[in-house]
């Protein structure tokens, strides 16, 4: 195929005859006047400046002269997209046209410009004095609107620099959601002003006695803005009503005895819980979810809901219902793990499917009631699992997942749902066994690239040999940038 080495695979991409466009110190960036488009142009100029060894100008006026990289916002209908394409998918659509004189990136929305620039980055090759971009034409839009990664920062803490590296990685793969699992038994990782002891008392621990940490409000806000500038939405998760030992350690008022629970640094799940009959429980949910919603410009707040293994259904439903009500009251859409489907979630909620061992009846019933599903099937999308027997890090509770198994699955087959009922695909990395950025990136890469393509590219655009070929381009870039990734056993 005379294709272009873009990953995830685009809807259409072809090489064109002719010389490449050379990006060097004389290149100009030309952009529409919308602030978010200007933000994309500044990021681009920064990247070009680094490759070309000097700053390049950003301007608004296109004089049609050669040497420009032009970022254009199209009029509605200005891109030849399939009729009826959902607005959230059209927003991320882009066209890239390159000849020896100019590069033109066109999108309906600024976020589409970012996706086009991420694709352009993958076709550009370093040359003396800058970059060469082969003549080509690409037209592209995603299959699913939510293409994410759930990162557990509760079992092990990862500092803001690492979180920003993860954001850059997601953006480079045209993924758009960083779901942060911010609270669990082992630690509370976001400053919560209404309940200051959560971080004063319950943030210092991690699994195995490793150091803890948390994001202050300004640090959290800065991460959200950084992510937004790269077209990534941060979805905060406060996991209730189970997985709450850190909260019970900080506030004795949440336990039936009134005594705080000791800290927990093990790897068990399902043992801790809130109690509906304890007076502080509902106010606690109102306070912490209200605080988190208040620092969330994005549309979603995740309320967890998984593995509350010691609670009867009625109490679970009451607590999940209260948490969901707080989120909706704050103007946000509820996201919850699949267990919460059996509590009546507000219409329009998102149910995150993970446990392939449990019958999905409640999930399917929630869909009939208007929920949409986020697919994270553990046997495909849980990237804390080892790749193969030799892999020195990772867990095995959901099996081992080689790159090919991570790549070769079809979202429509998981629950036999049509695409309209599936909001998207999300990988997850739980961090009981993951303590360092190196191990984190090892487990993510290259598998996250496979998940990105499953989530972005329609099945007819996907194929293992072609994926492997395009992946080689990416791994070469990761090597240049010093990004760790796992090599052996790629094909298993």
Binding residues for ligand TNX, rule: CB under 6 A, are 269, 306-307, 337, 354, 397, 430, 432
Least distance in Å: CB of 341 to ligand TNX? 13
- The residue (of 176 and 395) whose beta carbon lies closer to ligand TNX is 395
- The residue (of 99 and 432) whose beta carbon lies closer to ligand TNX is 432
Neighbours of 81 (CB within 10 A): 18
181 bridge partner residues? 152, 237
- The residue (of 45 and 153) whose beta carbon lies closer to ligand TNX is 153
- Tell me the C-alpha distance between 458 and 446, whole Å: 20
- Tell me the C-alpha distance between 281 and 287, whole Å: 10
CB burial of residue 38 (10 Å; 0-12, 13-18, 19+): middle
Examine the residue annotation and report whether 307 is marked as an active-site residue of this protein: yes
DSSP structural state of residue 240: E
Least distance in Å: CB of 382 to ligand TNX? 7
Least distance in Å: CB of 326 to ligand TNX? 20
| Cis, bond preceding 292 (omega within 30 deg of 0) | no
In our burial notation (b when 16+ CB lie closer than 10 A, e otherwise), range 402-440 reads bbbbbbebebeebbebeeebbbbbbbbbbbbbbbebebb
- Tell me the residue number closest to ligand TNX, measured at CB: 430
- The residue (of 221 and 269) whose beta carbon lies closer to ligand TNX is 269
Give yes or no for a contact between 444 and 406, defined as CB atoms under 8 angstroms apart: no
Least distance in Å: CB of 354 to ligand TNX? 5
**Beta carbons within 8 Å of 181's beta carbon, 6+ residues apart:** 150, 151, 152, 153, 154, 237, 239, 304, 430
- The residue (of 430 and 467) whose beta carbon lies closer to ligand TNX is 430
Structure-token pair, residue 165: 């590296």
Give yes or no for a contact between 345 and 351, defined as CB atoms under 8 angstroms apart: yes
Catalytic one among 97, 307, 408, 468? 307
- The residue (of 300 and 337) whose beta carbon lies closer to ligand TNX is 337
Least distance in Å: CB of 384 to ligand TNX? 7
Least distance in Å: CB of 450 to ligand TNX? 19
Q: Catalytic residue positions?
A: 307
């Amino acid at each position: 195929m005379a294709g272009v080495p873009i990953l995830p695979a685009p809807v259409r991409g072809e090489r064109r005859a002719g010389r490449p466009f050379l990006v060097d110190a004389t290149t100009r960036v030309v952009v529409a006047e919308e602030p978010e488009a200007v933000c994309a142009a500044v990021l681009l100029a920064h990247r070009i400046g680094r490759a070309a060894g000097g700053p390049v100008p950003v301007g608004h006026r296109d004089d049609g002269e050669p040497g420009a990289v032009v970022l254009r916002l199209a009029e509605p209908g200005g891109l030849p997209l399939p009729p009826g394409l959902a607005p959230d998918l059209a927003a991320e659509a882009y066209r890239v046209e390159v000849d020896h004189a100019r590069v033109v990136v066109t999108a309906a929305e600024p976020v589409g410009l970012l996706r086009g620039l991420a694709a352009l980055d993958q076709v550009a090759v370093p040359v003396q004095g800058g970059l060469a971009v082969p003549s080509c034409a690409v037209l592209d839009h995603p299959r699913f609107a939510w293409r994410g990664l759930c990162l557990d920062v509760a079992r092990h803490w990862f500092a803001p620099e690492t979180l920003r590296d993860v954001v850059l990685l997601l953006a480079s793969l045209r993924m758009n959601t960083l779901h942060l699992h911010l609270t669990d038994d082992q630690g509370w990782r976001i400053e919560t002003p209404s309940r200051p002891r959560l971080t004063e008392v319950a943030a210092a621990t991690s699994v195995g006695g490793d150091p803890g940490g948390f994001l202050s409000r300004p640090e959290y806000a800065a991460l959200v803005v950084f992510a937004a500038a790269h077209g990534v939405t941060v979805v905060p998760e406060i996991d209730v009503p189970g997985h709450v030992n850190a909260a019970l350690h900080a506030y004795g008022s949440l336990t039936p005895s009134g005594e705080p629970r000791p800290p927990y640094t093990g790897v068990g799940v399902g043992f801790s819980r809130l109690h509906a009959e304890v007076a502080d429980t509902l106010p606690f949910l109102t306070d912490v979810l209200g605080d988190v919603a208040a620092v969330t410009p994005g549309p979603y707040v995740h309320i967890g809901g998984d593995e509350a293994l010691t609670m009867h259904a009625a109490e679970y439903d009451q607590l999940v219902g209260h948490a969901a009500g707080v989120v909706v009251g704050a103007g946000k859409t509820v996201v919850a793990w699949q267990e919460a489907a059996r509590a009546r979630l507000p219409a329009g909620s998102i149910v995150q499917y993970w446990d392939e061992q449990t019958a999905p009846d409640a999930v399917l019933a929630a869909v009939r009631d208007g929920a949409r599903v986020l697919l994270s099937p553990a046997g495909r999308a849980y990237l804390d699992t080892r790749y193969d027997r030799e892999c020195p890090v990772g867990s095995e509770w959901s099996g081992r997942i080689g790159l090919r198994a991570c790549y070769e699955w079809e979202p429509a087959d998981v629950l036999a749902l049509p695409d309209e009922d599936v909001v998207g695909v999300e990988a997850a990395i739980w961090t009981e066994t993951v303590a360092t950025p190196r191990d984190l990136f090892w487990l993510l890469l290259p598998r996250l690239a496979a998940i990105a393509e499953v989530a972005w590219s329609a099945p007819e655009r996907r194929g293992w040999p072609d994926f492997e070929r395009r992946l080689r381009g990416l791994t070469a870039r990761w090597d240049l940038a010093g990004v760790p990734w796992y090599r052996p056993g790629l094909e298993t």
